[in-house]
Chains A and B, each alone.
Chain A
C-alpha cells in the first residue's frame, strides 16, 4: 500500500519532509513491493490493494485500528512498524480522527506498562538502564536501590525456568497454564518450580499448580484504584462490592506480605499509593483523584494540575518546529509465519476471540449467554466438504506439539487452508496445546495467530469428549 501511495504521488510530502526521517531509504525499500508482488504474497487482488491504498491516502482523516491479529505473530513488532510507516506516508497521525489505535485486550494493559509492570521501565516509562536520574529518584523514594538492568519478559521467564535460573514465581491475576502457547510445556515448567504463589480471584488451572494460593479481589468492582485504557486515559475504578469469603483486596495482601517480610507500609489507601506514583512519574503528576473524577479520566501526559491531558500524543509532529524526535521510517521485510504448512500439517490455524467470551473464559463462563456455544474448529465450506465433515462433528486436531479433540463447524468467512479456534473453553478443548511459542524477539509475544495443524476424522467410538451442549456448565452457583 505504501509503495502504491508513493508511486501514485499521493504521499503527504509536506508532512514527510517536516516531521519524519529516513523516508528515502524507506521508499527505496518498499519499491520492490509492487501491487503484483503484494498480491502474490497475500492472495489479495492487486486491484483491491490499490483501492484501499488510494482510499486511505486520499481520506481527509483516517485511522488504523488493530487488535491481536497484528501483534500475535513472531513478526508482531515488524507488523506494527509497517503500519506506523504507512500512517507516516500519509500524515495520518497526531490529528483528530487520525492515528494508530491498538485496541488492547484488557482494561489495564496500558496501565500495567505505565506503572512499570514491564521489564525495562520504571513507572511512567522511565528507562531502567539508561535513565540514571529516574533510578536514583525511585531508589530514594522506595528506600531500596533499583538495579540498573532490565528484567525478563514472560517468554524469558519460561526460558529461565527451563534453564533452572528461575525457581520461584509469584503470579497475580494471570492464567498462563491455559493462556500461553504450547501449554503442555508451560504447565510442566510451572510444575517444576521450587515454589509458586498464585494470587487470583479463581482457583485457576495455574492456581492448581501453586504451593500457596492467595484469594484476591476483583479489582474492577471490589477495590479502589485506577486503570488506563487504550487511549492512555487514566480512569478511576471503585469498590462496589465486598469480596466474598476470605478473599482480600490485592493492596492489603501486598501490604501484609511486605509486613511479614519486614517492611511496615502502614496500609496506605489507594489514593495514597496513587499520590506516591504522581510524585515519581512526571506524566501522571497532574492527575489527582479529584481531577480524574471531575474530568471523567485524563489522558497522559498530564504533567501538572491544570493541564487538560493529551488526547493526541503525536500532535507534536505537526508543531513547527517538531517537538522532540522526528518520526522515523523503519523498513521491514515480509516474513512468513514461523511454521509453514506442509503435506502432513496442511492447515494453518489462527486463534482469536469471540464477542461474548474473554480469554480463557474464567470470567465469562460465569454468565449464561445465548452466544456461548463452546469451542469449535471453524473451517471454510470447501475444506469441510473436502474432508467430508459435518457441522458439529468431533474431529482430532493435531499440531507438531500436541493433539486435541474438537467439534468442527463451517464459517464462510474463512478461506481454504485456514482454520480458526479460540481458547475461551480450555476445559473443553485445550487449544493452546496446538499453538506454537515462536516469539517475536522484540516484544516476547508468541505467534498465536499461525501454526500448522492437521484435522482427522474420528472413527466411531474413538471420541472421548462430549459436546459442549451436553456438558454441565461450570458456571454459576
Chain B
C-alpha cells in the first residue's frame, strides 16, 4: 500500500508520544530516520506495521493524552507508523467523543448531563458553568482549560459528576462526584487540593449474604496479598483441579446467564468457544459500561479488581483463550488504574503470562481503553474498536464464538458475569443454582439511582420484588411520591408506581414486558419533569448512534424532533399524530436496525408513552 500523507512533520513531542507506545520505527519507511544505503534497497516495516493496526486506538490515546488533541502531523505520523491510511485514522479518531480532532486546550472538564445526574442537579451545574466560565467549548484565559457536556459518566450513585482529563507529560484523568460548582471551577482553575472520588463502599457492607460485593470496602484493592487473604485465587485452584471441561460443566450447571443485558447462558457460550477448532481464540471482558444509570462494574473494578483478573484467568483456562482484553470505558480512570495494578501484580506473581501457577497454561491480559462511545459496549463494535477500526457493529451471523475479534473465536462477557464464575467454582454449579429462581440463578447487582435516599449498588438474589429493592435504598425522599422507575437504562423501559411488585428475574420481567438490562433501577419522584428525561434519552441515542444504518442514524433524530415538538406543546398536526409517528419510527428502528442500540433506541420512549401515559395526560 502506498500511503500518501499530508506534508506535515510531527514535533518531537508528538513523535515521542507515539514512539513511547510503539517503540522506535524500523526504517525510513515506517517513520524513522532515512538510511540512504538500506532504505533505498529494502522497504522494512510494511508487514509488521500493518499487523499492528490494533494499536491504533491506544496510539491515538497516547497523542490525545500528550497534547490534548489529534493534530494533523501526529495523525500523519501514526499513519506512517502503522501503515493505516490517514483518511482511515481520521475516520477512527473522529468517531470517539473523547478524542479531539481539532485543536483543544490540554485540560477538558467533561460534565455529565445524563438522566441520573439531571435528577441530582447537573442542569444547574451546567447553567452555572455557562454563566461564569462561558459556553461549552469556551477556553480559559490561560488557554489551558475548557469544558464539554458528556453522556453518563457512570457515577449515578453520587452525581452530578464531572471528569477532568488533563493532557501532558504526565497525563491525568480524575473523576469528581458529587461535583459542586465550586469543585468544577477549582478543577478548571487547576487549584490544589481538589479531591477526586474514592472507590464506593456498598450500603450493604458487612451483610454476610453478599457474594459479588463481599470483598468491596473490605479488601485493599491495591494488594494481591490482601486479596488472597480474603479468599482470592481459591477459585482458580478449584478450576485447575476440575480441568477445563470440568469448569465448563460447572458453569453450565450453574445456569449462569450473562449480566450485560442479553441474558445468554454463559456455559453454553464458553463451551461453543472451547469447541471451535480455529486458533488463536480470544477472551474479552466487556467493561465498557456506558448504559446510562449503570455503575456496578465500576464499583467492582475499583473495589475488587483482582476478582476480575482471577475470573478471566479461569475463563481463559476453561476455553483455551490465550489472549484477553478488558475493554474498559475511557470515562473510568480510577477503575483503569486499579485493574491495571491488579494485572501488573498478577504478572509479577506468575498469575498471568506463561505457565500460570506452574500449570502450563498461558494467559496474557491487557486493558484496551475506550474513548467515549456507547456503541462500543455492543460486542461486535468492541471487536472493530480493538482491531483499530471505527466502532461500528457488525452483522450477525457470523457470531462471536465463531468469528469474533480478528475474525477468531471469541468469548465476550460482562464484568459482573465473569466474577459470578468465582462463586460457581467455590460452590459448584448446582450449589450456585440453588440461589435465585428457576430461570435466573444466583444474585444480581442493581444500580439504584435517581430519586432514592441511599443510591448505590445492591446485590440481591433473583426473585425479590422491585419494591423491596427500592425500599432497601430507602425509597424516594420524604414528602415525595414515586412517579416512575426506569428499568435497564436508556435501552430499557419505564414502569409505573403501581407496578413495583414485579419480580426481579429474567423470566418475570420478560413476562411483564420490561427488562432488567444491565441492572439499572432509576427512580423518578414527582418532582421530575419526565418530558426533560425523555428528551435527554432521545438525544442520548441520537448522539451515540454510530451512523451506520439508516433506521438508527436518522430515526433517532426524527424521534428526538417529535419529542421536542410534543414537549414544547407544538405538535405538527396533533399530539396523536406525533405519537403515531414516534411509534412508526420506533417500529422501524426496532425491526430494521443492525444492532441492539437502534433496536432499543425507542424502547424507553415508547414505554413512557404507552405505560406511563406521558403526553397522554399522564406523567409530566
Contact = CB atoms under 8 A, between A and B. Distances in A.
Nearest to A52: B42
Contacts of B28: 412
A381 interface: yes
Nearest to A381: B34
Contact of B41 (A43, A381, A382, A412): A43
Interface of A: 42-45, 48, 380-382, 412-416
Name, among B34, B38, B40, the residue most crowded by chain A CB atoms within 10 Å (CB to CB). Answer: B40
Contacts of A413: 40
Contact of B38 (A42, A45, A412, A416): A45
Interface of B: 28, 34, 36, 38, 40-42
Interface SS, A side: loop
B34 A415 contact: no
B40 A380 contact: yes
A45 B36 contact: no
Contacts of A412: 28, 34
Contacts of A416: 36, 40
Contacts, number: 23
A42 B41 CA distance: 9
B40 A48 contact: no
Q: Which 8 A-B pairs have the closest CB atoms?
A: A415-B40, A48-B42, A382-B36, A44-B41, A43-B41, A416-B36, A45-B42, A415-B36
B28 to A, nearest CB: 7
Nearest to B28: A412
B36 A44 contact: no
A414 B41 CA distance: 9
A381 B38 CA distance: 14
Contacts of B40: 380, 413-416
A43 B40 CA distance: 9
Contacts of A42: 41
A408 B259 CA distance: 65
Nearest to B42: A48
Contacts of A44: 41-42
Contacts of A48: 41-42
A376 to B, nearest CB: 16
Query: Which of B28, B34, B36, B38 is the most central at the interface, judged by chain A CB atoms within 10 Å of its CB?
Result: B36
Contacts of B36: 380-382, 415-416
Given A48-B42, A381-B34, A382-B36, 14 more contacts: A43-B41, A44-B42, A45-B41, A45-B42, A48-B41, A380-B36, A381-B36, A412-B34, A413-B40, A414-B40, A415-B36, A415-B41, A416-B36, A416-B40
A100 B36 CA distance: 32
A42 B40 CA distance: 12
A416 B40 CA distance: 9
B474 to A, nearest CB: 68
7 contacts: A45-B41, A45-B42, A48-B41, A380-B40, A412-B28, A413-B40, A415-B41
A380 B41 CA distance: 13
A44 B42 CA distance: 7
Contacts of A414: 40
Nearest to B38: A45
A226 B447 CA distance: 75
Nearest to A47: B42
Contacts of B34: 381, 412
A366 to B, nearest CB: 25
Contacts of A381: 34, 36
A416 B42 CA distance: 14
